[in-house]
Structure 1
Amino acid sequence: MTTIKTALRFVTHRIARHPDSEPTVTAECLRPGCGWSVAPTSDVKRADVDCMAHTGATGHAIFARKYEDMAVVVRET
């Protein structure tokens, strides 16, 4: 019979955006048949303004927004 001993260590970690990356956002209008979208950009505020301008021009007010970034998990000291 083999006995296995395990030492458990609980270490606190955190997750954050990797410092060498920028977030990317895209958005698309959900109005059936519209097809309007924001191309991938790191300028999140600009994407929001573009969505609001689309609403002003068309009355379409619902969008799917997608955010993507590169994350890193680091051990807390």
Structure 2
Amino acid sequence: MATRVFGFVDHVITQHPDGERTLTLRCIHPDCRWTVAPTADVDRAQGDAIKHTAATGHALFARTAEDMAVVVRQA
């Protein structure tokens, strides 16, 4: 009978250094279609949401953050 040995190597996932993080926002008030398109300017996007709340009273948002990730082998 043959014996197989599997070696396990530790890996880690992290943000790719050439990638950028983006944020998308969407007002979830039932009658509102306000959104912020994907942007790397997170502060501006969040500021826009605050302004939207001040103008409309809508305070709930769906946020999606995205970045490019890479898995690397640890020594």
Task: State TM-score, norm by structure 2.
Answer: 0.90
* Aligned counterpart, 1:58: 56
* Aligned counterpart, 1:68: 66
Task: State TM-score, norm by structure 1.
Answer: 0.88
Gaps of 5+ in 2: none
TM-aligned CA deviation for residue 9 of structure 1: 1.4
Spell out, residue by residue over 1:22-52, the C-alpha distance to the aligned partner (whole angstroms, 9 max, x if none). 0111110000111000011011111111111
Q: Identity, % of aligned pairs?
A: 55
